[in-house]
Amino acid sequence: MSDTDTPAILVIGGAGYIGSHTTLALAAAGYRTVVYDNFSTGHRDVCFGDALVEGDLHDRKKLAQTMRDHDIQAVVHFAALIEAGESVVDPLPFFENNVAGTLKLLGAMQDAGVGRLVFSSTAACYGNQSTGDLLDENLPRDPVNPYGHSKAMVEVVLETLAAAHGLNAIALRYFNASGADPEGRTGERHDPETHLIPLVIDAARGKRANIKIFGTDYDTDDGTCIRDYIHVNDLASGHVAAIDYLLKHNEVGFQAMNLGTGRGNSVREVIDAVRKMAGKDFPVVEEARREGDPAILVADAGRANEILGWQARYSNIDGIVRDAWNFAVKTDQ
C-alpha cells in the first residue's frame, strides 16, 4: 500500500505518555502518523510518528495547515494538563489549555475539512459517583475538580458540534493509566510524578524515602482504595480501535466510552505487587484519608467491548508493574 493509500492520523500530544504508546500502536496497525506537540511536557525521544510538527494547541492556523499538508483523515487529541490536585490550586491554565486549546483544534479541523476525532477524556468526568458498582457511561457527568470539569466541558462541546456540524467524535474515558511499553521504547515520565505505581517503584528502588497510603479504613477488603489500573498498551489499542471505527462509519456523532478492565486493585495490592517485583521491602507510611477520594472506582467497559470490539489484554497488576519497573530501570541506565 502506498503512502497516499494509507490514512494519516494526526496525534496531538504524541510526545507524551499515552500519546507515544498510541503512535506506536497506530503505526503497527498500518497508519501513517504525524505527531504535533509543543514539548511543554512531552519528550522528543519518544516521537515515533512518520512526521513531527512542533506547534502549540492554540495555533489554529498551523494546525489546519498541518492537516492539509499531510492529508489528515482523523485526529487523536491527547494535549492536556492532567494533574487534578494542581487544577484545584491553579485552575485557570486547565481551562485555557484543555478547553480553549481544544476549541482552537476543533476550529482548525473545520478549516481543514477533517471531521473525525478521538478525544482523550477521563473517569474524572464521573466525579465521586462511587456506589461499589461498575461505572458506566449512562451516569451523569459530575466532576469534582477543575481538571474533570475541563474534560467534561470538552465532551459537551463535542456533543454540540456533532449535532450541529456532523463531527464524528469518540471520547475515551480512561481510568488509571499505568505500565510501559514492554519493549522499553517509552513509558511514564511525568514531572512531577503523582501516579501511584511509579511512586511505589521509586520507593522500592530507594529513590524516595517511603510510600504513603492515604486512608486505611475504607469499606474494602483491606481498607484501602480500589482503582481500575489499565495498561497503557491497552489504552493505545483502544485508540486504534476508535480510529478504525470512525474511518469505517460515517455517522457516529458523539459517543463516550470507558477504557478499563472491570476489576480493581487496592493500594495495598499495588504495593505488594511492587514488593514482589523488587524482591525486598520498603517503608510504607499510613496517613489519613484525602478529601474526595472514593473507595472504589472501576469501569464498565461494555460499550467499548461491544461497539469497538476492544478489550483489555495486558492489564493484570503483575504485568503492569513488571513493565513499569523495567522502564524505570532502563531510563536510569
* Distances 4 to 8, 32, 110, 114, 129 between C-alpha atoms, Å: 9, 10, 22, 16, 46
DSSP character for 212? E
Region of 298 please: left (phi>0), alpha (psi -120 to 50) or beta. beta
Active site residue 147: yes
Of 130, 140, 37, 149, which Cα lies nearest the Cα of 91?
149
Given the residues 147, 174, 218, 229, select the one marked as catalytic.
147
DSSP class of 303? H
**Locus of grid cell 499510613:** 286
**Segment holding 34, helix H or strand E:** strand 32-37
Residue 90: partners with Cβ closer than 8 Å, 6 or more residues away: none
Peptide bond just before 283 cis, omega within 30 deg: no
With residue 170 as reference, give the H or E element that holds it. strand 168-174
Q: Which DSSP string corresponds to 79-90?
A: -----HHHHHHS
What whole-number distance in Å separates Cα of residue 290 and Cα of residue 270?
Answer: 18
**Residues noted as catalytic:** 147
